[in-house]
Amino acid sequence: MTITIYGIKSCDTMKKALTKLDDLGVEYNFHNYKKQVIDKDSVQRWVAILGVDKVLNKRGTTWRKLSDEQKTTADTDEIAAIELLLANTSMIKRPIVEGVHKDKQVLLCGFDENAFNTAFL
């Protein structure tokens, strides 16, 4: 498995992450949520490992546009939260970076320069 970075090109956080991977010399595949579907297994894996609170971006406009009922359901029902993430990929915190680098499993959510340095140096 190679490194895959999931997100959208227009996101400033994504731009920072892509630049950092380039600066570190990390080869990666880019998965664009706007052009490619994300599979349920991947989202379930991320939520299982990182937690729904880490993967679900509650700071974006997509979250704010949800009804109070949808927000409450997402907060109390992990399966419902995963379904919302699949239907609204812009609610997945960006970037998600996943794969194997130098025989080490990597799964990062969000951009943290220190975490990237630790994972890829």
Choosing from 1, 2, 3, 11, the catalytic residue is: 11
User: Is 11 assigned a catalytic role?
Assistant: yes
Dihedral over alpha carbons 7, 101, 117, 50 (to 10 degrees): 50
Q: Are 9 and 36 in contact (CB under 8 A)?
A: no
In sequence order, which residues have a C-beta less than 8 Å from that of residue 44 and are 6 or more positions away? Answer: 82
Active site residues: 11
